[in-house]
Structure 1
């Protein structure tokens, strides 16, 4: 079972888009819980999370890891959307792997090579599937979900993600 963690700050619209892409996973029983870790929103992020049935908490992703019920975590940026087929791919990965994994960018969402090289690459842009144990160990020294995801060796999943637009 998978716990989804989304770290937010004034992301009500992006959060709604991300949560909509997770509905299939909840219906199939792959997504056990969704935790929205809010770092100081002043918009309606709280209401979006509550109306969608998420567990909302003030604080960073390190606090959310402790509340997660699943053995595996899926960390996403608000605004990211998982494409069809992600459920089967994540279920297969979590059944036989222990290595963290990231999604592949949707073809229409891919950035040209030079633009990737010269832009600030967001570590969570392609999401992160990681065991709760690994995430808890990394969270001791990471102040945010982005910091937790940075520099990890990961496997590439054969499932696509529409990356959240930069803020």
Structure 2
């Protein structure tokens, strides 16, 4: 089973897009719970999270949040990122056959222009992150309070399924 963590700050619309893409995983029994970590949003992020059945935190200890997740694997996404068709099967296969962390492939149809990709700083969660719960707890203890810090400088396997990055959603 997979627990999803999304950190947001005034990302109501982006959060709704991400949560709607995760419904397939919940229906298939892959996604056990979704946790939204909020930095004090003034928009409707809390309403969106609660309507979707997510656990919502305004203050948290990342190590404790990870310890309380229901799944044996953790998936961390930016608000607005959306896994595309086939993600449930690819993630299920990876969880069943491999113990290494993994990232999605960036969507070929929703990629930033070449020069922007070449010269901009990439966000460590641009293509998400999937990792075993034990590894996530270790990294959270060593790296800090934000899920973004979990993803930094980590060797991962590339999944065959694609993800629409959150940055592309913001440009649309």
TM-score of Structure 1 vs Structure 2, range by shorter chain: over 0.9
2: distance between equivalents of 1:101 and 1:37?
22
Instruction: Compute the displacement of 1:59 (Å).
Output: 2.8
Q: How many residues align?
A: 167
Instruction: Compute the displacement of 1:153 (Å).
Output: 0.3
Q: Equivalent residue for 1:139?
A: 140
- Consecutive unaligned residues of structure 2, counting only runs of 5 or more, are none
Q: Equivalent residue for 2:66?
A: 65
Q: Equivalent residue for 1:37?
A: 37
- Which runs of 4 or more aligned residues in structure 1 lie more than 4 Å from their structure 2 counterparts after TM superposition? none
What TM-score does the superposition give when structure 2 sets the normalisation length? 0.91
2: distance between equivalents of 1:60 and 1:107?
35
1:1-150 equivalence runs, <5 A = 1-59=1-59, 62=62, 63-140=64-141, 141-150=143-152
CA RMSD in angstroms comes to 1.5
- Consecutive unaligned residues of structure 1, counting only runs of 5 or more, are none
- Cα deviations by residue, 1:130-165 (Å, 9 ceiling, x for unpaired): 011111111112231111101000000000000002
1: distance between equivalents of 2:32 and 2:80?
20
